[in-house]
Amino acid sequence: MQDLLFVVAPIFIIMGVGWLVARLGHFPDQAQRAVTDFCFRFAMPSLLFLGGMQGAGAAEGKTALAFFGAAVPLFGVGVLIGVRLLRQPLPQASMFGLNMSFGNTAMMGVPVIFAAFGQAGLSQLLTIIALHSIVLLPIATMLAEFGLNARAPLGRILRATGQSLLRNPIVMAVVVAQIWSLLHLPVPAVAERTLTMMGAAGPPAAIFCLGASLASFSPRGAGLEVGLAAIGKLAFLPLAVFGLGTLIQLEPLPMAVAVVSAALPTGANAFILARRYEVGAERSGATVLVTSAIAVVTLSIVIGLMRPA
């Protein structure tokens, strides 16, 4: 238990400090955007590039299979619940499905997995991070586009989706790292040291900014939709990943990384996408807030259960 607190407590303390200083007005939105941009565009890609230099093997492929074999069907279930039960139009239902299945694998997942499982765990996480945005975000984007403009040409939708992925530094860092590794290209010592220093700044800064960003969200009026999304994201998805991982006989470390990744709270990209399309942005923001708050407890439990003794 003491060892678990050593891993988890600093993460949530940093998040809490970020929330507090933002709440007190000492870390305004402009500063948050600047630090978040640094993490998203430079620090986290540096860390992920170095981690990805090992290349993706069969183990990483099975980890991704366990994760997305559960996440993609859960996204579909979320869309159906949105349309059938909550009586939402397709664009809003696609955002609801994203809230249930899209986790904060980069800005929160990287520091959590790195703290709990080290570099070996981070290597397992890389394929999940890359496919997370390549699989789930485009599906949600296309459903939203189809719902908002049924006559939009498919080519235009696919082109816009592809361009957004090419502009994503997180995705491109992982992809370039895999290509670099496959080509067996060396990384100069000075470049490696520079990337190491840059990457080291990413996890604490990202966690601090995540806590600060939660200070501006309000869960009021969210009701049933946020509750269902939180249950799906924090309970059903980790259980489904564990079940699928058991079925395909994942090794202990890949299993732990896949399940902990599934137990992460809803990622802010779900809110950003909802705000971009102006469909359910307040509910997506509330889901980020609620799942992040609950994850303080649930994520600690999941790490304790899955982390090797």
Minimum mean pLDDT range among 223-232, 281-290, 298-307:
281-290
pLDDT at position 153: 74
How far is Cα 66 from Cα 262, in angstroms, rounded to an integer? 10
Minimum mean pLDDT range among 7-16, 24-33, 103-112:
7-16
How far is Cα 7 from Cα 165, in angstroms, rounded to an integer? 32
Mean pLDDT estimate for the chain: 84
pLDDT above 90 for 179: no
pLDDT above 70 for 291: yes
Helix (H) or strand (E) holding 107: none
- Please, which contacts does 133-136 make with residues 24 or more away whose CB atoms are closer than 8 Å? 133/165, 133/168, 133/170, 133/171, 133/269, 134/165, 134/171, 135/68, 135/71, 135/72, 136/71, 136/72, 136/75, 136/98, 136/101, 136/102
pLDDT above 60 for 151: yes
How far is Cα 18 from Cα 207, in angstroms, rounded to an integer? 8
The CATH number given to 2-306 is: 1.20.1530.20
pTM: 0.75
- Quote the percentage of the chain above a pLDDT of 70: 88
pLDDT at position 307: 79
**In the Cβ-directed half-sphere of 261, how many Cα atoms lie within 13 Å?**
34
pLDDT at position 60: 67
CA angle 22, 24, 28 (to 5 degrees): 40
The full set of domain ranges for the chain reads 2-306
pLDDT at position 271: 76
Over residues 271-295, the mean pLDDT reads: 79
How far is Cα 142 from Cα 132, in angstroms, rounded to an integer? 15
pLDDT at position 104: 87
- Write out the two tokens for 142: 């296309």
Q: Answer yes or no: are the C-beta atoms of 140 and 91 closer than 8 Å.
A: no
pLDDT at position 152: 64
CA angle 216, 279, 138 (to 5 degrees): 100
User: Number of H helices and number of E strands within the chain?
Assistant: 16, 0
Q: What is the pLDDT of residues 215-252, one digit of tens each?
A: 876 666 567 889 999 999 999 999 999 999 999 999 99
